[in-house]
Structure 1
Amino acid sequence: MAIQNTGGMQRRPTHPGEMLREDFLPDYGLTVAGLAEALGVSRQSINELLRERRAVSPEMALRLGRLFGNAPEFWLNAQRAVDLWVAAADIKDEVARITPLDAA
């Protein structure tokens, strides 16, 4: 017997920038400048991502996946979870007013 998870996530999902800052950079001994150089992007781009002021783009997901040996989908799914959580919180009342349709 399966227990359904209908409650929804109560906390904001972890931003990919936090994952990089807290897990990946220390584990690989990288600095902001080192990560930027390894990815071929500006330090400003990396700094904004680490400060959670920039989202992971598909291009950045490809670069991160290649560098760390994981799938680009890992990075995009983490970003998608944050984006959906924020959007759901922003328009929660509007969505609640929508009446679901029944198939004819």
Structure 2
Amino acid sequence: MSKPTKQKLRNIHPGEILREEFLIPLGISQYRLAKEISVTEARISAICSGKRAITADTALRFAAFFGTTSGFWLGLQGDYDTEEAACELSGVLAQIHRFEPVAA
């Protein structure tokens, strides 16, 4: 019997979650969201296409509009950013040795 291979899941930008889990199911256009939360449509478009991060300002606006928390949106962004950094730094991180305190 062969050993199952470990496949890494694609890192999902929070803008994709905004689009696929909120805007599309709720029938809300990017234009309407932008208008309702007083930002430009370009800002929402850039987030939805993964070209712009969700800032604290945007997270607060999304939370107020969707009835979520700002932490939800910032958590999605933080998880995304951390995974991107981990991929970029994988070689460097593999060479770092954990600090082991010496007993006195």
TMscore range, shorter length: 0.7 to 0.9
Structure 2 distance, partners of 1:57, 1:66, is: 14
Q: Is the 8 A contact 1:12 1:82 kept in 2?
A: no
Match of residue 50, structure 2, among 52, 63, 75: 52
Q: Which runs of 4+ in 1 moved over 6 A?
A: none
Residue-pair matches, total: 96
Residue identity (%): 32
Q: Provide TM-score, normalisation by structure 2.
A: 0.86
Q: Is the 8 A contact 2:11 2:84 kept in 1?
A: no
Say whether residues 1:61 and 2:66 are aligned partners.
no
Bigger drift between 57-66 and 18-27 goes to 18-27
How far has the Cα of 1:16 moved from its partner?
1.3
Matched ranges for 1:82-101 at <5 A: 82-101=80-99
How far has the Cα of 1:12 moved from its partner?
3.2
Say whether residues 1:20 and 2:21 are aligned partners.
no
Give the structure 1 partner of residue 40 of structure 2: 42
Return 5+ residue gaps in structure 1 as ranges: 1-8
How far has the Cα of 1:23 moved from its partner?
1.5
- What is the CA RMSD across the aligned residues, in angstroms? 1.4
